[in-house]
Amino acid sequence: MTAATSTSCVSLSPLSLFKCLAEETRLKTLLMLCVKDELCVCDLTDALNLSQPKISRHLADLRKCGLVADDRRGKWVYYRLNPALPAWAKEVIHLSATNNADYISDALNNLKCDAGC
C-alpha cells in the first residue's frame, strides 16, 4: 500500500522559493531530486555524506515549503519534486540543475544504487 502526500496546487512566491533554497543541503537535495526523480533519505545520506537526522530535517523544511512531496512504501519514504509546483518554479529548478550539473556531480556519484533502499 502506498501513501502519498497531497499534491494540490502549491502557492509559492519567489521569496519563499529562494529563502527555502538558501541553504546548501536543501539546494543540493532539490537539484538531485530534479535529476534523479525520486530518492529516499538513505540515498541522500550517502550522496551528501550527512547524518540521517540532518537530511530528514532538511527534507521536512522542503516539504513545509511545498517543494517536495513524499511517498511512503513500507518502511521507506521516497521524496520527489512536488508535481503541483507552479510552472515558473519548476522551470527555475530544472534550469538550475541543468546549468549547474557540476554543483551536484560529486553527490550524484556518491549514490550507491539507483534501485532505492
Q: What is the pLDDT of residues 62-73, one digit of tens each?
A: 999 999 999 999
Taking residue 2's Cβ as centre, other Cβ atoms within 10 Å add up to: 8
Residue 3: band (very low, low, confident or very high) from pLDDT cuts 50, 70, 90: very low
Q: Mean per-residue pLDDT for 28-54?
A: 96
Nearest to 81 by CA among 111, 103, 73, 71: 71
Q: What is the pLDDT of residues 44-68, one digit of tens each?
A: 999 999 999 999 999 999 999 999 9
> What is the reported pLDDT for 6?
44
> What is the reported pLDDT for 11?
85
The answer to whether the beta carbons of residues 29 and 41 sit under 8 Å apart is no
SS3 4: strand
Q: Mean per-residue pLDDT for 36-45?
A: 94
> What is the reported pLDDT for 108?
94
What residue ranges define each of the domains in the chain, with the CATH number in brackets?
A: 23-105 (1.10.10.10)
The side-by-side arrangement of strands in the sheet containing 2-4 is 2-4, 68-73, 76-81, 39-40
Q: Is the pLDDT of residue 4 over 60?
A: no
